[in-house]
Chain A
């Protein structure tokens, strides 16, 4: 019997797992995909928002501001790179100034600090590539960037180190409730019993809630297409650049990423299918048109990758509540933007809800707060690489040329849970560069086959059905 079962291995579920792992609880996290962060979280922009662009009084706003503060601290504990680059919400016309001032006033009400309006001269000095027709911007210095996947993996790893069972390829198909206990069935036949269930199943949060008997939640996927530029263009912006927000999104942005590649997007389009991750010619056109208003030098020939993600929208605000009709069930639904930022604050809120509804939270004597930072050659100065190679020769064995990833890092990623080529990519950046895996795919597959003791025909891009090789000739 588990104390708490967490359903969903995205950023929300892993943040909750990590937070609850401080306490003497029997915990498990169930993820339907073959790896964590393979749902909504993998398509995240990686922005740690300051808390602007949320209505005062909203749960989103409150948790975003708090999450921003907590992320900074948590990233240090978990050894994840976090850069506070700041954001600029840019306007081009005097007519838009009142809206900008309103955003500033709203954000200040929420407790966002350091906000100020900067003028054209400041902008031209600090963003040399910005459209010179710019008029002013709201500068929010507390905005930051983080790698969304590494953030999920490293929180999960720390949670696992503190005793949480992290179970991937565990798709929940039914939830029974009797005598103060949930019986959660997963595909394949296993049943997990628990006193509490926390549903943070992203796009499927409505289905999971439904299985437990709560019918009022509907997740409407809202698609966003994003386009990644070559690292060589890292210089095109120094801050996160936003236009004035659109009614359904924060607009099309020029994003700095923690990997150095600029990213442009996202679009915002309601779709019916929860699996529709296709990109479109129109999406690209729309994104290019919009970002060129911010940075005219953005060039479509610099695009090296693109993807679409689905925001799990459940109305205007997050839904985070204990369901009194189904005691012991906590729904965490509609966690779209600014969900990545809010995640650590959501985790605290959920811990509080669990406590309030009868879960005893007694601290562990030994809680491993810190996690050793994962080595990424690409983030090190060349001079720092030499001692690493002396310690382990495999750091000098380069697998991915474009992003400078060694055999050691790939092997280490497998040992830390990567089971697919996408999992390797998200953890190490191997295959994420300009050649898109053209040179390194074979080598990575061989390392995976060796580490996991699998034939090459069993290596997949992202789980069963996505095998790369049809037949092995011997």
Chain B
């Protein structure tokens, strides 16, 4: 590293992640008296995954209103953004974290290193993939993690498929079944290996039953077919072993989320109780701590992480 880059700036609090967890944590830390906060967001806007969740059901606890994801994000951003002493850095991707809380990040035109007196990791989660559940068959175009399909439709205005089979009946899968249907696509089925849906009851009713979309419980997709684009899937009844085929051009994979904690791993930190890690001064909140069902709970728990960081800095 050259002299030009080596000025190691120290900040009181660095928050990694500008989704609901990072925003709520920064907000609470600021309110608790932390005067110097750097929030690093890897995307080009704040709000994280909420931006693509254009369905309602957000904010019932925090704002006592039924909001969409972007509305919830907007409220939280407005609460946070004018906090004195808060610097927000977008398109900033953390590549390295040390146990001594030195954060290295890249952004267009710049690589920077900052020493955090306290650090909150709010890096969210990622989707489990087709590959992680080892679905056999071919690898054509038309297989999407449900969140990617959601982004394509809701943010980019692109329809990725017309005949869809959805693997997994968690909330994201259910919501995407409705979303595709509203966009004029045909959702052929939702396939679930468990005995019941893993999603909220209201989503099973509003996203599947209202549209007459079949939910196959105790079934799995055994094979994906198609050379260039998905052509069909083979579905297997897990109890009887019976198989049948469904023709489709798209397979959505919605089989759960995994906390994205590679940076904490790099720093040698293990997750402990709520918002705590094994490293002093390093906190973790939101979906990076555990995968939550509701953003309202994420915001509530993450505010606590902000207060814990403020408390740590006072010591």
Contacts and interface: CB of A to CB of B under 8 A. Distances in A.
Interface of A: 232, 275, 277-281, 283-284, 300-301, 303-307, 382-383, 385-387, 389-390, 393-398, 401, 404, 406, 434-439, 441-442, 456-457, 460-474
Interface string B148-168: 100110011111111000000
B134 A300 contact: yes
A436 B152 contact: no
Given A468-B141, A470-B162, A394 B134 contact: no
A464 B140 CA distance: 12
Contacts of B95: 382, 385, 398, 404
Contacts of A301: 132
Interface residues of B, number: 51
Given A304-B132, A389-B109, 9 more contacts: A303-B132, A304-B131, A307-B139, A389-B111, A396-B108, A398-B95, A436-B131, A464-B228, A468-B142
Contact of A401 (B42, B104, B109): B42
Contacts of B106: 385, 389, 395-396, 398, 406
Given A396-B106, A438-B147, A472-B158, A460 B136 contact: no
B306 interface: no
Given A396-B106, A437-B148, A466-B229, A303 B141 contact: no
B223 to A, nearest CB: 7
Interface in B150-203: 151-152, 155-162
A456 B136 contact: no
Given A275-B227, A303-B132, A469-B152, A474 B157 contact: yes
A285 to B, nearest CB: 10
A464 B141 CA distance: 11
A465 B131 contact: no
A463 B136 CA distance: 22
Nearest to B138: A278
A471 B159 contact: yes
Contact of B104 (A275, A279, A382, A465): A382
Contacts of A385: 95, 106, 111
B240 interface: no
B41 interface: no
Nearest to B158: A469
A386 B106 CA distance: 8
Contacts of B96: 382
B131 A303 contact: yes
Nearest to A306: B131
Contacts of B239: none
A466 B151 contact: no
Interface stretch (B16-24, B122-130, B290-298): B122-130
A395 to B, nearest CB: 8
Q: Which 6 A-B pairs have the closest CB atoms?
A: A393-B109, A465-B228, A461-B141, A466-B228, A466-B141, A398-B93
Contact of B136 (A275, A284, A305, A462): A284
B2 to A, nearest CB: 7
B280 interface: no
A472 to B, nearest CB: 6
Nearest to A283: B136
A461 B249 CA distance: 14
Query: Residue among B95, B132, B157, B265 with the most chain A CB within 10 A?
Result: B132
A387 B110 CA distance: 9
B131 A393 contact: no
Contacts of B131: 303-306, 436
A465 B95 CA distance: 37
Contacts of B145: 435-438
B168 to A, nearest CB: 14
Interface of B: 1-2, 5, 42, 91, 93, 95-96, 104, 106-111, 126-127, 129-132, 134, 136-142, 145, 147-148, 151-152, 155-162, 222-223, 225, 227-229, 249, 262, 265
Contacts of B265: 232
B156 A456 contact: yes
A456 B158 contact: yes
Contacts of B127: 435, 438
A471 B139 CA distance: 21
A469 B108 contact: no
Contact of B107 (A306, A390, A396, A436): A396
A263 B110 CA distance: 35
B13 to A, nearest CB: 23
A397 B91 contact: yes
Contacts of A390: 109
Nearest to B145: A438
A229 to B, nearest CB: 11
A437 B151 CA distance: 13
Contacts of A275: 227
Given A277-B139, A304-B131, A463-B228, A473 B158 contact: yes
Contacts of A474: 157
A387 B104 CA distance: 14
B313 to A, nearest CB: 27
A423 to B, nearest CB: 13
Contacts of B229: 465-467
Contacts of B158: 456-457, 469, 471-473
Given A385-B111, A464-B228, A280 B42 contact: no
Contacts of A460: 141, 228
Query: Residue among B95, B136, B151, B155 with the most chain A CB within 10 A?
Result: B136
Contact of A466 (B93, B111, B140, B223): B140
A342 B27 CA distance: 61
Query: Residue among A437, A464, A474 with the most chain B CB within 10 A?
Result: A437
Contacts of A439: 126, 148
Nearest to A464: B228
B237 to A, nearest CB: 16
A366 to B, nearest CB: 37
A389 B113 CA distance: 14
Contacts of B162: 470-471
Query: Residue among B134, B151, B249, B262 with the most chain A CB within 10 A?
Result: B134
Contacts of B222: 281
Query: Residue among A396, A469, A472 with the most chain B CB within 10 A?
Result: A396
Contacts of B140: 461, 466
Nearest to A390: B109
Contacts of A467: 141, 229
A470 B161 contact: yes
Contacts of B141: 460-462, 466-468
